[in-house]
């Protein structure tokens, strides 16, 4: 076990006092709690026994950590495994939505996707979320987790925060859960203790200011900015919020939370600590832009290229694509130069031409490719919560579903009555992938990078 850095104790022990410091050390020896939050669009029933997370109606503590990898519900996007403290975002959203309708939201540092799924769970049905991650490897993880969640009301992007400048004053809500020194992970990831130093804290605080400098200008007049870290020190938390207030037109918003929750109120935010709350370390602050719409209008759409990377689907393509999705949504369909098709709710179609300043962006639902008169469905289409109920399905029990998720061949004799063609593989009514039935076999179309490697 890695020891706590001496300099960390020198900073935090005087801040907390001896009694609280000793409580903190004792908490670090305990096992981290396991918590999840459920997908509102994929069933309301609880899958596990456990205690509710009081600041998130869809959150739940589990009495022990199961093997999520071997649970088909996990692969179907029925829930997301997330640290409980970070779910306080849901509580802040309840406050915001009482005051303001959120049309456009941005999660600037979104990977691996936990807070984006919380946003998608809580934003109004006609809202659009832009979920951004600059690092390619983390962007891939974000894409998978957003796909599992199944919401069409999102666009995932890969870009540096500075590339969002054409979208100044656009977003009603911006979340900046910034990279930090990771003090709040000392229990869950003991190796993070070895990486900590005062120099690293200062480096992180400086990087956070750079991200904030590019981010706060994206907030619309009267809109909200949420700032978060998984750390304790003031330099990365309250001091950065203070810097933001001095440089932008923001006021911080604070309100009382039940004392029994154990959350510490700081000058500007809410602090979670493992010795007071059933969580890891986490800081979050809520700020509101104080300008009025008369002082600054939203940025108009700008197209930086002669033609967008995506082109709208034609009538023939739309007729093929539309039959795969629910008819109760007005869809817009698009394709890229690689011949991959995408679906986005029609209310958000203007965003196809608003993101040309970014390195990479993927809109809504990835549908697949068209060959002749037929769609070859993309794996992530199976995970969408907007699939047509008329699609032919093949229901699997847990043993069969795990075999499918391991990309194993499954004997066709178990479903002798199924006709040839594409079938949506479901577990407990929720999609987990595609198979194609042939006269004498069933082809498993699970992508190799999605397969389970655990026995």
Judge if 202 and 267 occupy the same domain: yes
What CATH number should be reported for the domain holding residue 197? Answer: 3.40.50.150
Judge if 202 and 343 occupy the same domain: no
Active-site residue among 109, 180, 204, 230? 230
The pLDDT score that the predictor gives to residue 2 is 78
Judge if 46 and 126 occupy the same domain: yes
The pLDDT score that the predictor gives to residue 301 is 44
> By residue range, what is the domain housing residue 438?
393-455
d(CA 444, CA 407): 6
> Does some domain include residue 296?
no
Q: Is 230 a residue of the active site?
A: yes
Question: Any idea what the Cα angle at residue 49 is, between residues 46 and 55, rounded to 5°?
Answer: 70
> Does some domain include residue 295?
no
The pLDDT score that the predictor gives to residue 303 is 43
The pLDDT score that the predictor gives to residue 409 is 85
Phi, psi of 380 (to 5 degrees): -70, -20
Judge if 418 and 455 occupy the same domain: yes
What CATH number should be reported for the domain holding residue 419? Answer: 2.30.130.60
Beginning with the edge strand found earlier in the chain, give each strand of the sheet holding 374-377 in spatial order: 311-312, 331-335, 340-345, 365-371, 374-377
* Total number of domains in the chain: 3
Cα atoms found within 13 Å of the Cα of residue 412, Cβ hemisphere only: 16
Q: Among the three residues 366, 391, 416, which one is the final residue of a domain in this structure?
A: 391
The pLDDT score that the predictor gives to residue 195 is 93
> Does some domain include residue 152?
yes
The pLDDT score that the predictor gives to residue 306 is 44
> Does some domain include residue 111?
yes
> Does some domain include residue 350?
yes
Judge if 406 and 322 occupy the same domain: no
> Does some domain include residue 310?
yes
What CATH number should be reported for the domain holding residue 357? Answer: 3.10.450.720
Judge if 313 and 422 occupy the same domain: no
Contacts of 337 (CB under 8 A, 6+ apart): 309
Q: Among the three residues 349, 371, 391, which one is the final residue of a domain in this structure?
A: 391
> Does some domain include residue 57?
yes
Q: Among the three residues 246, 267, 289, which one is the final residue of a domain in this structure?
A: 289
**Both tokens assigned to 60:** 């739940």
Average pLDDT, the chain: 94
What letter does residue 387 receive in the DSSP assignment? B
Low-confidence ranges of the chain (pLDDT < 70): 1, 294-307
Judge if 241 and 321 occupy the same domain: no
Judge if 382 and 405 occupy the same domain: no
Judge if 145 and 210 occupy the same domain: yes
Judge if 120 and 56 occupy the same domain: yes
> Does some domain include residue 417?
yes
Q: What percentage of the chain's residues is helix, strand, coil (to nearest 5)?
A: 35, 25, 40
Judge if 418 and 354 occupy the same domain: no
| pTM (2 d.p.) | 0.95
Judge if 327 and 358 occupy the same domain: yes
């Amino acid at each position: 076990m890695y020891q706590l850095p001496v300099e960390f104790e020198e900073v935090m022990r005087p801040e907390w006092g001896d009694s609280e410091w000793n409580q903190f050390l004792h908490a670090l020896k305990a096992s981290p709690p396991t918590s999840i939050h459920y997908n509102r669009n994929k069933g309301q029933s609880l899958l596990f026994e456990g205690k509710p997370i009081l600041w998130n109606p869809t959150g739940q503590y589990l009495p022990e950590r199961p093997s999520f990898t071997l649970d088909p519900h996990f692969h179907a996007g029925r829930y997301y495994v997330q640290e409980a403290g970070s779910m306080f975002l849901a509580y802040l959203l309840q406050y915001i939505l009482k005051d303001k309708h959120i049309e456009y939201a941005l999660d600037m540092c979104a990977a691996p996707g936990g807070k984006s799924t919380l946003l998608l769970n809580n934003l109004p049905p006609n809202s659009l979320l832009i979920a951004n991650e600059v690092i390619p490897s983390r962007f891939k993880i974000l894409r998978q987790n957003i796909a599992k969640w199944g919401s069409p009301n999102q666009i995932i992007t890969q870009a540096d925060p500075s590339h969002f400048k054409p979208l100044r004053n656009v977003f009603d809500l911006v979340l900046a859960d910034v990279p930090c020194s990771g003090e709040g992970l000392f229990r869950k990831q003991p190796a993070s203790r070895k990486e900590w130093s005062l120099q690293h804290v200062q480096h992180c605080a400086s990087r956070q200011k750079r991200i904030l400098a590019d981010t706060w200008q994206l907030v619309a007049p009267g809109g909200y900015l949420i700032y978060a870290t998984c750390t304790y020190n003031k330099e990365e938390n309250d001091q950065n919020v203070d810097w933001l207030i001095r440089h932008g037109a923001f006021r911080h918003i604070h309100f009382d939370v039940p004392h029994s929750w154990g959350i510490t109120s700081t000058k500007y935010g809410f602090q979670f600590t493992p010795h007071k709350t059933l969580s890891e370390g986490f800081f979050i602050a809520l700020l509101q832009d104080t300008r009025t719409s008369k002082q600054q209008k939203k940025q108009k759409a700008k197209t930086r290229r002669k033609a967008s990377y995506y082109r709208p689907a034609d009538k023939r393509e739309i007729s093929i694509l539309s039959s795969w999705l629910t008819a109760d949504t007005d869809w817009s369909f698009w394709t890229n130069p690689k011949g991959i098709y995408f679906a986005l709710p029609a209310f958000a179609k203007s965003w196809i031409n608003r993101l040309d300043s970014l390195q990479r962006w993927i809109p809504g639902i990835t549908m697949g490719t068209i060959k002749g008169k037929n769609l070859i469905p993309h794996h992530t289409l199976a995970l969408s919560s907007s699939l047509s109920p008329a699609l032919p399905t093949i229901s699997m029990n847990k043993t069969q579903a795990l075999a499918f998720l391991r990309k194993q061949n499954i004997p066709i004799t178990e479903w002798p009555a199924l006709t040839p063609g594409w079938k949506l593989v479901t577990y407990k009514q929720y999609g987990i992938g595609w198979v194609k039935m042939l006269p004498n076999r069933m082809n498993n179309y699970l992508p190799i990078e999605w397969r389970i490697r655990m026995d």
